[in-house]
Amino acid sequence: MILAESARRNAPAAARLLAHYRTMARIRAFENAAERLYNEKRIPGFVHLSTGQEAIPAGVCANLLPTDQITSTHRGHGHTIAKGGDIRAMMLELFGRAGGYCQGKGGSMHIADFSIGMLGANGVVAAGMPIAVGAAHAAKLLGRSTVVACFFGDGAVNRGPFLESLNWAAVYKLPVLFVCEDNRWAATTPTATTTAGPGIAARAEALGIRAFSCDGNDVAAVDDLAAELVRKVRAGAGPLFMIARTYRWSGHTSADAGAYRNQDEVARAKVDDPLARMRAQLVELGVAVTELDAAIAGAHEEIAAAIAEAERAPLPRREDALGEVQDIGAPNLSLPRDKRGRWPSRPSRDGRKGSGEGASGVGAAAAAITDRANLSAPPSQPSPALRGGRSVTVMSIVEASRRALAEEMRRDPTVWALGEDLGRGGVFQQYKGLQAEFGPARICDTPISEAAIMGAAVGAAMCGTRPVVETRYLDFTLCAADELVNQAAKARYMFGGQARVPIVVRQPTGLWGNCAAQHSQSLEAWWAHMPGLVVLAPSTPADSYAMLKAAIRADDPVILLEHKELWGITGEVEEGGEPDARLGKARICRAGRDLTIVSWSLTVQTCLDAAAALLRDGIDAEVIDLRCIWPWDEETIVASAEKTRHLLVVHEAVLTAGFGAEIAATVAEATGARVKRLGSPRIPVPFSPVLEAAFRRTAEEIGAAARTLMDARHAR
């Protein structure tokens, strides 16, 4: 009777702990199988194991709702399983087979299941942290009660995104539970030897985030602490910090035997096995050993079935490698493309083949540009004309971009902007007055934390919002290169199409009088080289207006290159209506028969000036504004070069490996036309006006290059 009464009293606790035991058994069985499969060369690539750490994901995720979210690390198997992931789909992914979570495009380090709120394992240490705060920021903006659990290792505390993410979460009081799996090792180095100060908790508390510790090998202790912290976070307490002390049994990867570690230390850790501890506790609570054995056997049977299915499953087709990034871009930017991601021919509205002319009114605006107007340009002036029932207004690029953003924010409440000094209007006043209309939540002033800004935008975009990221200057985007290049650009492909990242990254680009090397770069070739990004470069107010609207409606990351010396340019803009689907097409600014000159952004007007001078010498040049760097309008450029048999590509960026090389090579291959490039010297942009002038391309230089290209001795 006494034993029966004890079992009755302990039944609720035993049932919960038994559920934890089953979760841990599944994680352990999966990790052991992954290690064995790697050693037997049955799966490709490396796996990063979390053997010995099973109690942490089991105890934390048991307190999360299905609608809650997690971010993970490169050791993400356990987190995925604990959050409710499909072991079959995980195993298919490890085998690189069709039907895997990421369709064979992510592998072990990039397991994700957005349907259960698992926002992806991540191969970059600490990279999940700004994504987690972005997901939490989106939840707050959208009025959701979501809690985001952010898992990371103790090695992450020495990376910049750790500080930036904790600060961000504290500033905006976001619903994030930071979970540090303190396993004592950062890759192959003891964390204690590379971490200064009084400890991990002190770093969180220095930012005003309360930190709590527990024995990470005791699932009951993890469960109890996580339950309390998740409840507080959900109730609005803001971010909290949890440290779970544990030990990773394996080396850094499956290929790392960990021989550098003290084997007595490893042996002691294995004695403290979280599964063995929980088994003993469950036996004390009256759970039958046969039931515990059945849990272990069931986990092994499940894993064995997943392996058998994965080995039978077909491999992805070779052509599937091109998926996801092939149609990167908005519906109103994306046209059917060929295997290189380029736009083919598209009929114009009257059914004839497109001429390369862009959105209505853009060509007239470009032709009207006569100088590089400065930021003291006159205010917008209404035009008496109406075009297609819409008003036409003369305005500057800064005003055009401001109106475009405001209209999209009024149209779609999920659109918001984040960056430094937006409440004061931004560096170029492109946000002037917007915070007064939309409030500080949607025109969001951020810390000077580029990695957190970009990473938060990625997480928020994955979770239902459309962030517009202000980078202040393109040059500063390099502080967020990982978040842009390894996260935003790759997420859709890497996670097998599960994630879309609809962000606009506004990058004031190019030369800015006497501001020298760190405020004057042109890096469009970098972004064009990166699969997963759309890259736009407006040169007129009409393009600025239409391209920003189209970019905001895109479902993938768009880089919008806004030249610093073009903000004051004025021209006609048609307001209202939908963005034109032909925004991806280049614009023929000036028709000609002898020579094709291609450029973009600020340099377009310089090319038009050069063309006017060339005409006096009897050379009739066709000037084309590329407008969209990637995907670029190969059809219009090739057609023009086929007609003129001469192509000159001019850009402000450094000539070496500039995007002009891509255009020149493609045209040469397609047409056999004579080609020439003109760009800036391979030097950092200098400060002194006389030195800076050596970096700028002039109409005289363009004319000289054109005459060389047209020299009759070399013409075909």
Residues marked active site are found at: 519
**What are the φ and ψ backbone dihedral angles of 375, each rounded to 5 degrees?**
-75, 0
State the sign of the Cα–Cα–Cα–Cα dihedral 387, 391, 394, 397: negative
**What are the φ and ψ backbone dihedral angles of 653, each rounded to 5 degrees?**
-65, 160
- Nearest-5° angle of CA 344, CA 347, CA 353? 85
**What are the φ and ψ backbone dihedral angles of 185, each rounded to 5 degrees?**
-130, 130
State the sign of the Cα–Cα–Cα–Cα dihedral 552, 554, 556, 561: negative
Three-state secondary-structure class, residue 585: coil
* 505 secondary structure, DSSP code: E
* 123 secondary structure, DSSP code: S
Displacement of CA 169 from its chain's centroid (Å): 19
With beta carbons less than 8 A apart as the criterion, state whether 570 and 394 touch.
yes
**What are the φ and ψ backbone dihedral angles of 16, each rounded to 5 degrees?**
-70, -45
| CA separation for the pair 455, 25 (Å, rounded) | 34
- Amino acid identity of residue 328, one-letter, is I
Indicate the helix (H) or strand (E) that contains 644.
Answer: helix 634-644
C-alpha distances out from residue 453 to 137, 470, 505, Å? 11, 9, 11
| CA separation for the pair 433, 439 (Å, rounded) | 10
Q: Which residues contact 4 (CB under 8 A, 6 or more apart)?
A: none
Q: What residue has token string 């299905």? A: 66
| CA separation for the pair 716, 714 (Å, rounded) | 6
* 464 secondary structure, DSSP code: T
| CA separation for the pair 658, 680 (Å, rounded) | 9
**185-186 vs 189-190, strand pairing mode:** antiparallel
| CA separation for the pair 222, 215 (Å, rounded) | 7
Q: What residue has token string 């060389």? A: 708
* 362 secondary structure, DSSP code: H
Find the length of the chain. 716
CB < 8 Å & 24+ apart, contacts of 198-202:
200/154, 200/157, 200/243, 201/241, 201/243
With beta carbons less than 8 A apart as the criterion, state whether 87 and 306 touch.
yes
Three-state secondary-structure class, residue 452: helix
| CA separation for the pair 550, 591 (Å, rounded) | 27
Tokens of 552: 């905001």
Identify the CA nearest to 366 among candidates 551, 610, 544. Answer: 544
Tokens of 513: 């009088």
| CA separation for the pair 463, 68 (Å, rounded) | 11
| CA separation for the pair 706, 648 (Å, rounded) | 7
| CA separation for the pair 527, 534 (Å, rounded) | 8
Tell me the angle at which helices 289-312 and 2-39 cross, rounded to the nearest 10 degrees. 30
With beta carbons less than 8 A apart as the criterion, state whether 448 and 122 touch.
no
With beta carbons less than 8 A apart as the criterion, state whether 540 and 486 touch.
no
